[in-house]
Chain A
Amino acid sequence: MNALFLALAYLRYHWARSAVLVLVAALILSVPIISQVLLNGSQTALTERAEQTPLVLGRRGSQLDLAMNALYFSDDRASPVTMADADVIWDTGLGLPIPLNTAFETNGARIVGTSIEYFEFRGLEVSEGRQIALLGEALLGAATAERLGLGPGDTVISAPQNLFDLDGVYPLELNIVGVLAPTGTPDDEAVFVDIKTSWVIAGIGHGHDGVLAAGATSGDIVASAAIVEFNRITEENIDSFHFHGATADYPVSAILLVPNDDRAATILRGRYLDPENPVQIIVPRDVIGELVGRIFRIKSLLDAVTLIVGGAALAAVGLAVFLSYRLRAREMQTAFKIGARRGMILRLIAAETAILLCLAGVIALAITLAVQTNGTAIVAWLLAT
Chain B
Amino acid sequence: MITIENLSFAYPGGDFRLTIPSLVLEPGEKVAVVGPSGTGKTTLLNLIAGITVPQSGSVRLGDQTVSQMNDAARRALRAAKIGFVFQDFALLDYLSARENILFPYRIAAGAKIDAAARTRAAQLAASCGLEGKLERRPGALSQGEQQRVALCRALVMQPDLVLADEATGNLDPANKTAILDLLFARTAEQGATLLAVTHDHELLPRFDRVIDFSTFRQAQEGAV
> Which residues of chain A have a CB within 8 Å of any CB of chain B?
2, 5-6, 9-10, 12-14, 330-331, 333-342, 344
How many angstroms from the CA of A12 to the CA of B72 in the assembled complex?
Answer: 31
Query: Chain B residues with Cβ under 8 A from A342's Cβ?
Result: 71-72, 75
Task: Indicate if the CB atoms of B93 and A338 lie closer than 8 Å.
Answer: no
B104 at the interface (CB under 8 A from A): yes
Q: Which of B82-131 contact A (CB under 8 A)?
A: 82-84, 86, 90, 92-95, 99, 103-109
How many angstroms from the CA of A334 to the CA of B51 in the assembled complex?
Answer: 11
* Apart from A338-B83, A342-B72: 18 A-B pairs, beta carbons within 8 A: A2-B106, A5-B106, A12-B94, A13-B94, A330-B90, A334-B86, A337-B84, A338-B78, A338-B107, A338-B154, A339-B76, A339-B78, A339-B80, A339-B82, A339-B104, A341-B75, A341-B109, A344-B107
Task: Indicate if the CB atoms of B94 and A339 lie closer than 8 Å.
Answer: no
Contact A337 B49, CB 8 Å, known A342-B71, A342-B72: yes
How many angstroms from the CA of A13 to the CA of B103 in the assembled complex?
Answer: 16
Q: Which residue of A lies closest to B110 (CB)?
A: A341
B31 at the interface (CB under 8 A from A): no
How many angstroms from the CA of A333 to the CA of B72 in the assembled complex?
Answer: 16
How many angstroms from the CA of A181 to the CA of B71 in the assembled complex?
Answer: 74
Q: Closest CB of chain A to B188's CB: distance in Å?
A: 21
Count B-side interface residues using an 8 Å CB cutoff: 30
Query: B interface, by DSSP: helix, strand, loop or mixed?
Result: helix
How many angstroms from the CA of A342 to the CA of B72 in the assembled complex?
Answer: 7
Q: Closest CB of chain A to B167's CB: distance in Å?
A: 14
Task: Indicate if the CB atoms of A10 and B94 lie closer than 8 Å.
Answer: yes
Selected contact of A338 from candidates B72, B95, B104, B137, CB within 8 Å: B104
How many angstroms from the CA of A264 to the CA of B40 in the assembled complex?
Answer: 102
Q: Tell me which of B51, B76, B84, B108 has the highest count of chain A C-beta atoms within 10 A of its own C-beta.
A: B108
How many angstroms from the CA of A272 to the CA of B134 in the assembled complex?
Answer: 87
Q: Closest CB of chain A to B19's CB: distance in Å?
A: 24
How many angstroms from the CA of A383 to the CA of B139 in the assembled complex?
Answer: 55
Query: Chain A residues with Cβ under 8 A from B83's Cβ?
Result: 338
Q: What are 22 A-B contacts with C-beta separation under 8 Å?
A: A5-B106, A6-B95, A6-B106, A9-B95, A9-B99, A12-B94, A334-B86, A334-B90, A335-B107, A336-B51, A337-B78, A338-B84, A338-B103, A338-B104, A338-B153, A339-B75, A339-B78, A339-B82, A340-B79, A342-B71, A342-B72, A342-B75
